[in-house]
Amino acid sequence: KAGVTQTPRYLIKTRGQQVTLSCSPISGHRSVSWYQQTPGQGLQFLFEYFSETQRNKGNFPGRFSGRQFSNSRSEMNVSTLELGDSALYLCASSLDPVGSDTFGSGTRLTVV
Amino acid sequence: KQEVTQIPAALSVPEGENLVLNCSFTDSAIYNLQWFRQDPGKGLTSLLLIQSSQREQTSGRLNASLDKSSGRSTLYIAASQPGDSATYLCAPKGYSGGGADGLTFGKGTHLIIQP
């Protein structure tokens, strides 16, 4: 079966712009989580959605937001981009919030 | 707040050796713990998942153990191969009043297997 699909793979944006990243989970998976990976901070949890509801949120500013659709696909949005938002953004899906997580290949965001 | 420490941070060994990677976590209130590998610039590949009620899991040359009460997990790699070169990450999934939390990751162990 198809894995977790993240689009786009690479993105270059200018400081102050906003960006939307997309994640399509494995078919049947209803939980989607987002993570940010940077060389300095490592992998950090952003938020998790289950059945279209945000269940958990990490320690990130309100510029980072997300949503989940009825087909479990998820998007995350970052507004007013800063240079420090440059990172690999990873999405993971699982059957439910306590299940095994499968990660996508990520979206590499560069803010210039 | 969960904190995860992985030791060693880096390891370089000749092919064929058996290896042990260590992971410690501060909060034993976890649903499960996963071990992942990450190749440079890529996403995470799940290796093993251990439920909180389990002591160990095995998959091929990999064996992971979990001692929840002491906050420790180890990943044992038998007969290492150059293809095992990657960064290995451990991630417990905790819980709080609202249910399951997100995964908390350590900094990882950067492993190089020399041919």
Six-digit token pair at B44? 């995470």
Whether residue B54 lies within 8 A of chain A, CB to CB, comes out as: no
Residues A59-97: pLDDT tens digits? 999 999 999 999 999 999 999 999 999 999 999 999 988
- The alpha-carbon gap from B101 to the nearest alpha carbon of chain A, in Å, equals 7
Q: Contact at 8 Å (CB) between B67 and B7?
A: no
Query: For residue A1, how many other CB atoms are within 10 A of its CB?
Result: 5
pLDDT digits (tens, 9 = 90+) for B31-75: 999 999 999 988 999 999 999 999 999 999 999 999 999 999 999
Per-residue confidence (pLDDT) for residue B100, from 0 to 100 = 75
Contact residues on chain B for A56, CB-CB shorter than 8 A: 98, 100-102
pLDDT surpassing 80 at residue B19:
yes
Mean pLDDT, chain A, rounded, equals 95
Q: Quick check: A45 and B101 CB within 8 A?
A: yes
pLDDT of residue B1: 86
**B71 at A interface, C-beta within 8 A:** no
Looking at CA atoms only, how far is residue A90 from chain B in angstroms? 7
pLDDT at B96 over 80: no
Dihedrals phi, psi of B62, to nearest 5 degrees: -105, 140
Q: What is the pLDDT of residue A97?
A: 84
